[in-house]
Amino acid sequence: MKRILSMFLLGVSLLALVGCGGNAMKTTAGHLNLAIWWFGETLDPAHAWDSWTLTRIGAGETLVAVNEHMEFIPQLADKWENVDPVTWRFHIRQGVKFQNGDPMTPELVKASIERSMNENERAKKIARIKEMRVEGEDLVFVTTTPYASFVSSLSDPVFIIVNTQADLSKVASTPVLTGPYAITGWTKGVEIQLKRNEHYWDGTPGLETVTVKNVEDDVSRAMALQSGEFDLIQRLSAANRSLFENNANYGIYETTGVRVQMLTTNEEGVLGDKNLRTALAYLFDSEALAEVYGNAVAAGEPFPPSIPYGHPGEKITHDPAKADAAFAAAGYTKNAQGMYEKNGQPLTLKFATWGDKTTLYEAIESQLREGGVDVKMIHVQEPDKVDSVGGFDLLEEDWAVAATNDPYSWLRGMFYSDSTSNRGHYKSAAFDAILDEMATAMDPARKDELVKAAARQLIEDQPTLFLTVPMTILAGKSNVKNVKIFPLDYYLLTKDVTVE
């Protein structure tokens, strides 16, 4: 129904546009009209999550970045090394200039990072920096504890390097950064204007100017792309996809993102029985759920296909026979109505939701009922409020499982025994031991082995049922060239994009 409504609204909008002649902007070579789905409150990289806008529009850069293959790559630092368990040395790239022509020095990089930590509590928390010092062309960091995720933390957009020698009274509207495009104008919540950074360190950017607009509604973005108002848009709903598929005038760029839609099981209730959790995992048809949601693929394991680590070679797929066997192992049998019960008591699960994915929730409820499990649906304002409605058996969760290309913070936050975000009360000494070693595993190969071991433990224990992985999608006109699609959706516009 949601998809039908979206298509209806889109059709009405397009007819209205045609009827009034439209207000399409003619494509201009060298200029990109870009629509994204969210603007931060400001353009200050140290404010809240506003830095995500700056990386999306090609304005801001960090010491380390993550490419389209989910690999760390040098950006404003051209190399780095782990000196000892708490010391890291980053060589600051030479010859880089800020967008106003000022040289980027190690001292200014240090000042920018210090500013981020002073202005943003999250930055301070994720970096765990005890001390910073400049040694020639190097910036040396000492962390509070051995911290294997340190490189990842510096790739977070909150650590975009800003020129602190520039007029910081204008940092919220026109920050002076290092990216291929410099901000020339900003209307809060509406529009950002950019021009080519003539001082850019990594070659000549492909565009002369860029206009970025904030268009939150999926239908409106699609309509504006089709009308010619935009050359490239971020996010494309399943309902609007058919407008651009198999059309030589447009291109669709997509990959699986780093977010997974999942159901947390409450192990302090009836789902404390591992056999019952396993039965539910095999009962769900994630392929069908992905089709219902649209622009998604089945999960069946903790990490999406776009992530090159954490795949133990085991994956849960829909298997009614295995589900029946696991229900039997948990002591459940089907009654005359085809519903599971134990000792004469029917199996009824409270399914708590907090988002707006109504069609997906209905599909999950339907699969449970068709599989013999009764469901009581409850809705809460947010996951942390679920206790106020009497708790849950299954809780909707939606997590970025490898934000900044590192799964440790998600694994630690959601599943570690004493974590306050461990809403399902999962407790596993084996899993905790894996995470304890992962926290200080400086060798990348060893860390990858530990991530795989953690994934294998989660698949075995099923504290969470991993259902679907939404796609990260861009759509654009065919004359927009060299577009890259990144699993991390805070990357979008690169120096290589051109408009012919």
Asked whether the beta carbons of 138 and 90 are under 8 A apart, the reply is yes
| Model confidence pLDDT, tens digit, residues 374-383 | 999 999 988 8
Encoded tokens for 474: 């861009």
Distance CA 424, CA 417 (A): 10
Note the pLDDT of residue 28: 86
- Other Cβ atoms less than 10 A from the Cβ of 30: the count is 13
CB contact set of 449 (below 8 Å; sequence gap of 6+): none
Cα 48 to chain centroid, rounded: 16
Query: Sign of torsion, CA 200 205 209 213?
Result: negative
Q: Helices 218-227 & 2-19, crossing angle to 10 degrees?
A: 40
CA 299, distance to chain mean position in Å, is 15
In the chain, where the domains are located: 2-249+478-499, 259-471
Q: Are 110 and 132 in contact (CB under 8 A)?
A: yes
- CA-closest candidate to residue 485, choices 345, 306, 349: 306
Separation of CA 96 from chain center? 29
| Amino acid present at 240 | N
423 Ramachandran zone, left/alpha/beta (phi>0; psi -120 to 50): alpha
Parallel, antiparallel or unpaired: strands 31-36 and 138-143: unpaired
CB 475 within 8 A of CB 236: yes
Q: Distance (Å, rounded) from C-alpha 259 to C-alpha 329?
A: 32
259-471 has CATH 3.10.105.10 classification: yes
pLDDT of 271 reads 98
Q: Strand 464-477 to strand 232-234: parallel, antiparallel, or no bridges (unpaired)?
A: antiparallel
Whether 2-249+478-499 and 259-471 share one fold: the answer is no
Tokens read off for 57: 């529009």
Q: How many C-beta atoms lie closer than 10 Å to residue 83's C-beta?
A: 12
Burial class (CB in 10 A: 0-12, 13-18, 19+), 157: buried
DSSP for 424-469? T----HHHHHHHHHHTT--SHHHHHHHHHHHHHHHHHH-SEEEEEE
pLDDT in tens, 176-228: 999 999 999 999 999 999 999 999 999 999 999 999 999 999 999 999 999 99
Q: Compute φ and ψ for 132, nearest 5 degrees.
A: -130, 140
Q: Write the DSSP assignment of 10-39 as a string of letters.
A: HHHHHHHHHHTT--PPPP-TTEEEEEES--
Prediction pTM value? 0.92
Q: Specify the pLDDT at position 385.
A: 86
pLDDT, one tens digit per residue, over 59-74 is 999 999 999 999 999 9
Distance from C-alpha of 147 to C-alpha of 344, rounded to nearest angstrom = 52
Instruction: Identify the pLDDT of residue 25.
Output: 53
Place of tokens 């039997």: 328
| pLDDT at 26 (0 to 100) | 63
Can you read off the two tokens belonging to residue 24?
């399409």
DSSP state of 285: -
Burial of 142 by CB count in 10 Å (0-12 exposed, 13-18 middle, 19+ buried)? middle
Which pLDDT score is estimated for 302?
A: 98
3.40.1450.10, 3.30.70.100, 3.30.390.50, 3.40.190.10: which CATH number matches 2-249+478-499? Answer: 3.40.190.10
Q: What is the pLDDT along the chain (500 residues), one digit of tens a residue?
A: 444 444 444 444 444 443 333 344 567 899 999 999 999 999 999 999 999 999 999 999 999 999 999 999 999 999 999 999 999 999 999 999 999 999 999 999 999 999 999 999 999 999 999 999 999 999 999 999 999 999 999 999 999 999 999 999 999 999 999 999 999 999 999 999 999 999 999 999 999 999 999 999 999 999 999 999 999 999 999 999 999 999 999 999 999 999 999 999 999 999 999 999 999 999 999 999 999 999 999 999 999 999 999 999 999 999 999 999 999 999 999 999 999 999 999 999 999 999 999 999 999 999 999 999 999 999 998 888 888 888 999 999 999 999 999 999 999 999 999 999 999 999 999 999 999 999 999 999 999 999 999 999 999 999 999 999 999 999 999 999 999 999 999 999 999 999 99
The residues facing 92 across adjacent strands are: 77
CB 365 within 8 Å of CB 377: yes
